[in-house]
Amino acid sequence: MSIDLNFWKYRNGKYPDNAAVYRNACCNNCVTEDLELLPIEDILKETAAAFAGWDSPAPYFYEQREGQGSFQITTTPQTVRFDCNSMDAADMKRFSAILSRFGCPLYDPQLGVRFDRIAVFLIDEAGEYRAQAEQELSRLLPRLEIVSQTMRWEDYVSTPKTLSCIEYNALIHRAKTQTKVTSFMKFGSAWTNRPCQCKTAQLEDAERGRQLLGELLQKSIQRVVKDFLERTYYE
């Protein structure tokens, strides 16, 4: 299986179309004014150190000494691209960790998303737990910039969302016998949905009910982020 993983750094305050930057800068090797120059030699040294146990029979090419995994590095003054063949997911995640030290988030064209920001929507009653949700997401995904807002369900479903970043939303649904707290994450063409629930009767005491809903929200966030990390090459 062949996968390419791409990295660049935007100039301050600029967030152009990620797919267009990928095509122009990473595929066509065009220089763009929206991107910073990168310390390419330092990045190559860090990569070589991280994969010191791999053979490098040609410049910018690495292959496992035992196994079938290999990757080719292509660089421009502004971008770094890894073309990976038959590599384990754990090894491909190492690129994200390496380039994060240079301020370069991962762009995965297979999913069509850049791992730099997460738009957080706390819907209806979940909005009361905004600070708790932000804190837990920051703990689990510390390199992602969080932009959050609270809103009503009617507004959420009626608002056009053409997001180029990761999306997270939380919703609390109270039914007669069961109350469900659901976390949803969308990352490009992939998504994951994780509910946690309790008996509605357990929420009759307001103080205890608020504590329990907060715990369920935290648990659902942890589960949905676990899915997200398992299904991506982000680390």
- CATH code, domain with 177: 3.30.160
3-state DSSP assignment of residue 34: coil
What pLDDT is stored for residue 159 in this prediction? 76
3-state DSSP assignment of residue 233: coil
CB atoms within 10 A of CB 213: 23
Strand extents, DSSP E, the chain: 2-8, 55-58, 61-63, 70-75, 79-85, 106-108, 113-114, 117-123, 145-151, 166-174, 178-187, 190-199
Between CA 93 and CA 110 the distance in angstroms is 15
What pLDDT is stored for residue 100 in this prediction? 97
Q: What is the mean pLDDT of residues 191-216?
A: 96
Asked whether residue 14 carries a pLDDT value surpassing 90, the answer given is no
Residues β-bridged to residue 9:
none
Q: What is the mean pLDDT of residues 22-31?
A: 94
3-state DSSP assignment of residue 215: helix
Which residues have C-beta within 8 Å of that of residue 24, sequence separation ≥ 6? 30, 32
Domain edge (last residue) among 81, 110, 139:
110
What pLDDT is stored for residue 68 in this prediction? 84
Q: Measured on CA atoms in the order 116, 102, 96, 56, is the torsion positive or negative? A: positive
Q: What's the one-letter identity of residue 186?
A: K
Query: In the sheet where 145-151 sits, what is the strand order?
Result: 145-151, 117-123, 166-174, 178-187, 190-199
Q: What is the mean pLDDT of residues 63-79?
A: 93
Asked whether residue 192 carries a pLDDT value surpassing 90, the answer given is yes
Q: What is the CATH number of the domain that holds 99?
A: 3.30.310.250
Q: Which of 195, 191, 235, 184 is nearest to 219 (CA)?
A: 195
Domain edge (last residue) among 76, 95, 110:
110
DSSP secondary structure string for all residues of 43-107: HHHHHHHHTTTSEEEETTEEE-SSSS-EEEEEE-SSEEEEEEES--HHHHHHHHHHHHTTT--EE
What pLDDT is stored for residue 66 in this prediction? 82
Asked whether residue 1 carries a pLDDT value surpassing 80, the answer given is no
Q: What's the one-letter identity of residue 42?
A: D
174 & 208 share domain: yes
Asked whether residue 65 carries a pLDDT value surpassing 90, the answer given is no
- Window from 30-39, 103-112, 155-164 with minimum mean pLDDT: 155-164
Q: What is the mean pLDDT of residues 116-136?
A: 96
Answer for the pair 59, 48: CB distance below 8 angstroms, yes or no. no
Higher per-residue confidence, 140 vs 161: 140
Q: Look at residue 190 and tell me if it is in a domain.
A: yes
Asked whether residue 178 carries a pLDDT value surpassing 80, the answer given is yes
Q: What percent of the chain has pLDDT over 90?
A: 88
What pLDDT is stored for residue 80 in this prediction? 98
Asked whether residue 98 carries a pLDDT value surpassing 90, the answer given is yes
What pLDDT is stored for residue 157 in this prediction? 87
What residue numbers bound the domain in which 14 lies? 2-110
Q: Look at residue 235 and tell me if it is in a domain.
A: no
- Window from 14-23, 135-144, 183-192 with minimum mean pLDDT: 14-23
What pLDDT is stored for residue 77 in this prediction? 97
Number of domains in the chain: 2
Asked whether residue 161 carries a pLDDT value surpassing 80, the answer given is no
Asked whether residue 132 carries a pLDDT value surpassing 90, the answer given is yes
63 & 154 share domain: no
Higher per-residue confidence, 180 vs 14: 180
105 & 126 share domain: no
In terms of average pLDDT, the best of 9-23, 151-165, 175-189 is 175-189
Between CA 228 and CA 89 the distance in angstroms is 13
Please state, rounded to an integer, the average pLDDT across all residues of the chain. 94
Between CA 219 and CA 223 the distance in angstroms is 6
